[in-house]
Structure 1
């Protein structure tokens, strides 16, 4: 069949039909919000969104220097397209986002107030990417080293006005949004007071680690709703269930604290292992899947100004990205997106300089004393070192780097708001042609 060339005004065999089909397709694209004549990419049958909580550019570079060095490349930096995201929330009182508002923007495409999970600024539920995937008859999953009911996974699978309402998030996960795979920590929000579950509470922990479900035994509720519950690495490895709830810590899957003050990053089940299980389960669906993977440790260790364990958590995150890249390399229909939801700590990589110690040594404020310099850390493959300088123990408003590959990924190679990331992923799931 020869092409229809409008500039020369001739029609070859089958050309009229080709033109008619092209106009029909263009009209359909316009109805979907596309541009007439602009081809859509191959549809993303599978989507894996990997969120490094607190992963700003400074943290990303510190992880790179400490793990692969000047001449190395992180797995997350080997994805084909790169851009960055602005993360401003729509909070009326605070200029910088929290994880709940940021996750809601990524999950639903709507800016909202800090603390909101899956609801807009008026408290109304907004449909998430996970719920869109379900409507497209795809399997879904949530994997995190935080509580599975924390702000980021919560925004994809629930709708509550206050992120603290984690038992209600748990209920909505197993009764309403029903992801096929839910893996992470936070069993305290699933068991009522007095029922410790598989991971005993620590009375010596300065944070209140106690079972606190306000809605009864939600693990039993999950089982009643068709979930297989697992709480150990062995049980996770052994199950071949198609719907799994796995809780592997009473709170987060690590201990966030300043260095030497009870800090630990040693998840019972590593993020990479949980993600592999999720891929094994979800990829059995011929219609495809949507999977959210979150590494919470970067953010929490940055809140504690603990650069060593922030880097360790970042390394675990990058190992997980490598796993997903390998999975996607065998499938042209898989969109992989790696992004930070916000920056934490005002982390800066600096040369070692004893005369450049920031902070006020005379201060009695724990935050001021904590927000100094951390290190030195070896740069892999060299004799050089670097330090990490912290400016705060909170979030900052810095944009976060994004890398991606797969169907629709080229649309993310720009500066954008996190709500635009939602729109691009949804378009790739819904409108692409493969």
Structure 2
């Protein structure tokens, strides 16, 4: 089945489904005795497991410190298995689709079931309920995780078609991140030139026309620099700040760069400013893609750096939620990447020796102490580890315990569909 073989009518029907019994498939209806949830902020550390969080805690906060994401009062675990005939280990597309639709599916799928049928997504359901919606990521804005919340595709690689769906179907109010290449026809560079020195393979490659101009005609402000972002007013906002991801995901010392034009925290702040004007509330997806990409490269230094970026964005979101007590924050990861383990510095540990399947990376200092630790990578791929979830705000306690990743949809759907 080709990416574009999903009929347009079927895609539209999936996006516009608004009347779903709140208790079907195990969904939990809102508890009228509790404060209403007006806003939901869902934060994805792509590829982040408990070990990534512990390594970042030691590096950024020290032995007695805590990451902001670990101060959220409710915690639990999520399993990550896909429904894929060829693998028990998920990719980001299947993982995010399980969150966004409540249905496990195959790797590479964007919010379609295992037979390729489009499913209603949290982003579309929130919009249909009258809420504003947005996405913020250091990946392409059309990459697998954000795409799963706002589009349907049988193949995650259809990023230009996903961008078109954003504009024509699900219409997120705020779209901030990378991936300008997918919004422009091949041979038509935009603010970021084709074949840049840091990665000559990057360049405009869309097949859906000039989607930036289409966005402008649809009422989006378009920005591509920090100054333009800061100056942008309220209302619909599209910001693209890189050809592809907002970094270069390579091994340490081999051209690896993590220096986004605009930080994840700054994009989060702007998104919250724009979305918070809606009296009906909002749904915002925030993603740090660098955790996954640099873990794929077994690049401990950049993985720790991106974890710091993610935690600063969590701090922005938490500050907002503390001022707006009708806001629910959920922080988790779609899967684990790298088989990361935090280990003591031990010259007699043979696991990182030449020829070993694992690679030791470091040492890295434990902040505020004389100690150090190493990161032991056991793979460059994904693993089947559970991922931690922490939450803050009304109904956060529904994430206590161990659940399948589809539990995210079951908790968030009734909250996002409730009209206030």
Fold equivalence (TM over 0.5): yes
1:140 aligns with 2:133: yes
Cα distance in 2 between the residues matched to 1:324 and 1:288: 15
Among 352, 355, 380, which residue is 2:367 paired with? 380
SS at match of 1:49: strand
1:43 aligns with 2:36: yes
Among 178, 191, 216, which residue is 1:185 paired with? 178
**Match in the other structure for 1:392:** 379
Compute the displacement of 1:49 (Å): 0.2
Change in 2 beyond 3 A, CA 1:157/1:407: same
Change in 2 beyond 3 A, CA 1:404/1:192: same
* Equivalent residue runs for 1:59-70 within 5 Å: 59-70=52-63
1:335 aligns with 2:322: no
Give the number of the structure whose alpha-carbon radius of gyration is greater.
Answer: 1
Among 283, 304, 311, which residue is 1:311 paired with? 304
Compute the displacement of 1:208 (Å): 2.2
Contact 2:83 2:104 in 1 (8 A): yes
**Match in the other structure for 1:17:** none
Change in 2 beyond 3 A, CA 1:359/1:37: closer
Among 89, 92, 111, which residue is 2:82 paired with? 89
Change in 2 beyond 3 A, CA 1:85/1:202: same
SS at match of 1:327: helix
Question: What is the CA deviation profile of residues 81-128 of structure 1, one whole-angstrom value per residue up to 9, with x for unaligned ones?
Answer: 000100111011011000000000111111000000111111111111
Compute the displacement of 1:318 (Å): 0.4
1:172 aligns with 2:165: yes
Cα distance in 2 between the residues matched to 1:29 and 1:167: 33
**Match in the other structure for 1:322:** 315
* Equivalent residue runs for 1:394-409 within 5 Å: 394-409=381-396
**Match in the other structure for 2:403:** 416
* Equivalent residue runs for 1:357-372 within 5 Å: 357-359=350-352, 361-362=354-355, 371-372=358-359
**Match in the other structure for 2:271:** 278
Compute the displacement of 1:192 (Å): 1.1
Contact 1:187 1:250 in 2 (8 A): yes
Contact 2:141 2:147 in 1 (8 A): yes
Question: What is the CA deviation profile of residues 130-158 of structure 1, one whole-angstrom value per residue up to 9, with x for unaligned ones?
Answer: 11111110000000000000000100111
Contact 2:92 2:334 in 1 (8 A): yes
Compute the displacement of 1:305 (Å): 0.3
Cα distance in 2 between the residues matched to 1:212 and 1:391: 35
1:119 aligns with 2:112: yes
Question: What is the CA deviation profile of residues 28-70 of structure 1, one whole-angstrom value per residue up to 9, with x for unaligned ones?
Answer: 9879978899765322100000000001111010000000011
Compute the displacement of 1:213 (Å): 0.2
Change in 2 beyond 3 A, CA 1:31/1:342: closer
Contact 1:157 1:173 in 2 (8 A): yes
SS at match of 2:190: coil
Contact 1:357 1:373 in 2 (8 A): no
Cα distance in 2 between the residues matched to 1:251 and 1:245: 15
Cα distance in 1 between the residues matched to 2:169 and 2:375: 43
Contact 2:186 2:204 in 1 (8 A): yes
Cα distance in 1 between the residues matched to 2:247 and 2:198: 13
**Match in the other structure for 1:428:** 415
Change in 2 beyond 3 A, CA 1:33/1:80: same
Aligned length in residues: 400
SS at match of 2:406: helix
SS at match of 2:125: helix
SS at match of 2:389: strand
Change in 2 beyond 3 A, CA 1:247/1:234: same
Change in 2 beyond 3 A, CA 1:362/1:163: same
SS at match of 1:358: helix
Of stretches 212-221 and 37-46 in structure 1, the one that deviates more from structure 2 is: 37-46
* Equivalent residue runs for 1:21-40 within 5 Å: none
TM-score (norm 2): 0.91
Change in 2 beyond 3 A, CA 1:35/1:345: closer
Cα distance in 2 between the residues matched to 1:37 and 1:336: 16
CA RMSD of aligned residues (A): 2.1
